[in-house]
Amino acid sequence: MITFFRFFIMAIWSAVLMVVSPLLIPFFFSRKVPLFVGRYVFSPVLLPVVGINLSTHGAENVPQDRPVIFVSNHCSHFDIACLFRALPRYIYFVAKKELLWTPFLGFHLWAAGHILIDRSNRAKAVKSLRKAALKIRSGKCVTLYPEGTRSSDGEVGQFKKGAFHLAMDAGVDVVPVYIDGTFKIWPKGRFTIKPGKVSVYIGKPVKTANYDKKQLKQFAEDTREAVLKLKPSSPH
């Protein structure tokens, strides 16, 4: 019964804010309104409702004077809400274009200016990434999950190269992030939510200028290692 209540509140709260926050854009003349709502309204209400006690470590490592790409492990749907609240920048997410057709979510992604990638073929994917690089270069901080999907066992999988192609094309550094605790609260494939603690650890930027296109694999491996180093010795 408690799990059903949490799912119900989560679904209603998310759907309402996905619709309402973009509608506020014309009143404030800014597409950042949904990002403000995500950080200061959506997450602060949702996290306590589902029983998440969130703490952040290393926020001082995040540059405030330039855009960056946040690279994080991915264990749960709650990662998004936790990062909205924990990261000290307004963040955009990179998502597949097909999500535009998802009720509520698609409208929100489009209106808020999140970055959508067309993965229907290689040419379109490359074109989408180039457009994304321009948006990042113009000032958007984005968050990517380079594993490509949620972890099925809580461990950090291998990193794909897309995030690092994007970092090079945009000319921005990568900030490693490790989320600890969301897997136990709501793991992939489960329909129960267990309250608990979540800690977000933010590392120092990995300098993109230290790599070239021939070193993409090394760039990805070094960043994955930086993420793993943030993992606490005594996980929740």
Write out the two tokens for 86.
Answer: 């924990």
Nearest to 201, CA basis, from 76, 8, 58, 75: 58
pLDDT digits (tens, 9 = 90+) for 39-98: 999 999 999 999 999 999 999 999 999 999 999 999 999 999 999 999 999 999 988 888
Whether the model clears a pTM of 0.75, i.e. scores above it, the answer is yes
Write out the two tokens for 213.
Answer: 């296109």
Distance in angstroms (rounded) separating the CA atoms of residues 46 and 27: 25
Distance in angstroms (rounded) separating the CA atoms of residues 234 and 236: 7
Domains and CATH numbers, the chain: 2-229 (3.40.1130.10)
Distance in angstroms (rounded) separating the CA atoms of residues 111 and 157: 32
- Provide the 10 A C-beta neighbour count for residue 86: 24
Question: Cα Rg for the chain, rounded, in angstroms?
Answer: 17
pLDDT digits (tens, 9 = 90+) for 184-236: 999 888 888 899 999 999 999 999 999 999 999 999 999 999 999 999 986 55
DSSP state of 98: G
Distance in angstroms (rounded) separating the CA atoms of residues 15 and 210: 42
Distance in angstroms (rounded) separating the CA atoms of residues 226 and 165: 18
Tell me the one-letter amino acid at 222: D
